[in-house]
A and B are shown apart, each in its own frame.
Chain A
Amino acid sequence: VQLLESGGGLVQPGGSLRLSCVASGFTFSNYAMGWVRQAPGKGLQWVSDISGSGGDTFYADSVRGRFTISRDNSKNTLYLQLNSLRVEDTALYFCAKEAGPESYGHLDSWGHGTLVTVSS
């Protein structure tokens, strides 16, 4: 299993970014996927999950309405669209694999993360 995130960067408050996570080593569409973030020097915070088909999505209250998770199974790629960014969204964003197409809360494999910095 390999998960490679990209798309992070420096953005002003109120701005947008789209994160990507390219997966390999497993049949991507057979597994739900998630995003977890870690603010500098802080602990882990779950952000969002999506089913294997992409039909079901789940969000933390802190990002609901601002972030959108999606996937393109033909490209083995997971996305996280970040809108209306706030300073407190600054974090390393990890993508992680779940245990089945509609099996959540397992996070058995993780990428190395992509850093999002929200600052003016």
Chain B
Amino acid sequence: DDVLTQSPLSLPVTLGQPASISCRSRQSLVFSDGITYLTWFQQRPGQSPRRLIYKVSNRDSGVPDRFSGSGSRTDFTLKISRVEAEDVGVYYCMQGTRWPLTFGQGTRLEIK
């Protein structure tokens, strides 16, 4: 299975400051079609997951532009340029390149 390792697992951030979450895979996540199926989800407290970013860097409709995704092959990053109170929750990366689909452990973002 493709193990995804996120860091940090806990991320205390001051309002208005940037935040960064890493997601690493042991194997390249580039599919045979040349596309990298790496996705980021946000799960706010008490809510179901919401997709933020797909194919490494494409923001979903309605996702604020302070969220951005980057990376390639095995190393990926989710960045929040200026954290707001509504960003509190757990963030997961997921790979869709190979079966089984796998998620990172999750990174809990909290406000300092």
Contact = CB atoms under 8 A, between A and B. Distances in A.
A44 interface: yes
Contacts of B97: 105
Contacts of B41: 44, 107
A25 B77 CA distance: 32
B103 A43 contact: yes
B57 interface: no
Interface in B15-55: 37, 39, 41, 43, 48-51, 54
Instruction: Report the interface size class on chain A.
Output: 20 to 34
A106 B96 contact: yes
Instruction: Report the interface size class on chain B.
Output: 20 to 34
Contact of A105 (B43, B101, B105): B101
A110 B49 contact: yes
Contacts of B39: 105-107
Nearest to A111: B48
Contacts of B96: 104-107
Interface string A100-120: 000011111111110000000
A49 interface: yes
Contact of B49 (A44, A58, A60, A105): A44
